[in-house]
Each structure stands twice: as C-alpha cells, then as structure tokens.
Amino acid sequence: MKKANLLSALLLASIAAHAQPPGKDAAPLGLELGKTKCARMTPGPNRVKTGMSPWAGGDTVEIKRLDRFNLPGLTHATVNCDAQDTVALITLTFDRSALDEVSKKLDARYESRRKTEPNAENGYAEWEAANGSLEMLYARDSKQFTLAYWAKGAKAKYFTYSGTPDRKPAAPATPSPTQPAPL
C-alpha cells in the first residue's frame, strides 16, 4: 500500500512538473492559438471570411461585432488560419488611448521579452505565452496600435527575417573590367 501511495505521489509530482502554468496560454477572443479549428467559427454576420491567407494557406476571417469581447478600444480583429484549419495568427487593432491599459494587462499575464524605448520613433513590444508569442507595434504619433498573437512556431515558419535555408547567398560583387578596383 505504501508503495502504491509513493508511486502515485511521484506520478502526480511528475505531471505537475511538466504542466504549463495556468493562465499563460494565449486565447484572444476565446480562440486558443495553435489548437482552435477555424471551422469552429461558424460564418454569419459576426464572422466574415475575407479570403485565404496567402502566407499560411488557410482562411482569413474578420470578426465584426467587437463589443461583446469587452476590450476597451478594440476597433478591428482578424483571424488567420493555417492549411490545417488551425488558428495561426490573431491580429487586434486598438485605439491608441488603450495602449497603457493593454500593455499593463499583457505585462501581468505574460513574460515580457523585449520593448523599445518609450520615446522611440516606432514602438515595439514582445511577450512570450506558453502556446505562442505576442507582438505590439505602433508609431509614436499614430492613432492606433496593433497586437499580433502568433501560435507557437507560426511566426518563424511563415516569416523568416534572415532569409530562407534554400536561398543561396548573393555572389560577391566583382569590379567590372572597365572600372578600376577599389583601393
């Protein structure tokens, strides 16, 4: 009996050690990143399919009735799905007046990764969630800001900023025979 209790305690401790911290998953608008199937979002006057996401291969859906989410300042919401019909990116646009409130909420919920200086020409902030990452982008004098919720691995999969592995580096420039070589 003692052995069974000990094994049960070890099993529970192992599960607890590998479990995600509660509340650290990103699920904006109630759609969990990387898990929610876009087919779950039934079409209708509140959800309008606006086309296909050329970079992810799935539907792009615009959410129309934003007041029901109780997010002050929210003016636009778009959901991008991947080719497997899973939510890959949710983009939320807010009035600039909500910037401080939204930033504080994100700081309280997620681990902050990077932020630009408050007086920078363009603002950028990044947070890490258990199931993805969040990016906030804005210009200093803009009337709005954008918050992008990326499913885990989606940003790296669809947007590589350092080039692609199959792309060969450009050949070094060689001086033409009519021009003298630089000193």
CATH number of the domain that 125 lies in? 3.40.1000
- Would 19 be classed as within a structural domain? no
Position 31 scores a pLDDT of 93
Distance CA 57, CA 38 (A): 12
Give residue-wise pLDDT tens across range 68-87.
899 999 999 999 999 999 99
Nearest Cα to 77, choosing from 31, 26, 140, 141? 31
- Domain span including residue 77: 24-158
Whether 17 shows a pLDDT value over 50: the answer reads no
Distance CA 101, CA 91 (A): 17
- Would 63 be classed as within a structural domain? yes
- Would 5 be classed as within a structural domain? no
- Would 143 be classed as within a structural domain? yes
Distance CA 78, CA 88 (A): 11
- Would 120 be classed as within a structural domain? yes
- Would 57 be classed as within a structural domain? yes
Position 145 scores a pLDDT of 96
Categorize the per-residue pLDDT at 45 as very low, low, confident or very high, splitting at 50, 70 and 90: confident
Distance CA 40, CA 46 (A): 13
**Domain total of the chain:** 1
Residue 66, judged by CB atoms within 10 A of its CB (0-12, 13-18, 19+), counts as middle
